[in-house]
């Protein structure tokens, strides 16, 4: 595995985790950071499979699950915007009480 590819994947992953942990005001930013993390994990899996010359069935299954996760997050975002008018976490959690 090339060190440049590994460093790139890990830097993308940790920047996505940083954004996920620090920017928790809007649901859209959280969903984008989750997709960023999934993309870096996909690149890391593909680099690993290329290095050891395995089959590429697992990345396809991983992409299917990540697309399902993205569609579910987008449907939650649309539902939240329709019911509350914005995507702030504060307005969503106050209405549950």
| Mean pLDDT per 10-residue section of the chain, whose length is 97 residues | 85 92 84 92 91 87 93 89 78 56
pTM check: above 0.75: yes
Tell me which residue of 4, 3, 36 sits closest to 17, measured CA to CA: 36
pLDDT at 87: 77
The CATH label, of 1.10.357.10, 3.30.1360.150, 3.40.50.1100, 1.10.287.3510, for the domain at 3-94 is 1.10.287.3510
Number of H helices, E strands in the chain: 4, 0
pLDDT at 76: 87
């Amino acid at each position: 595995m090339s060190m440049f590819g590994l460093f790139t994947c890990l830097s993308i992953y940790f920047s996505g985790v940083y954004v996920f942990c620090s920017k928790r005001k809007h649901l859209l930013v959280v969903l984008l950071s989750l997709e960023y993390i999934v993309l870096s994990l996909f690149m890391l899996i593909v680099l690993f499979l290329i290095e050891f010359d395995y089959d590429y069935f697992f990345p396809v299954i991983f992409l299917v699950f990540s697309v399902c996760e993205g569609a579910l997050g987008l449907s939650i975002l649309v539902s939240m915007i329709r019911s509350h008018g914005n995507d702030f976490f504060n307005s969503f959690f106050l209405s549950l009480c």
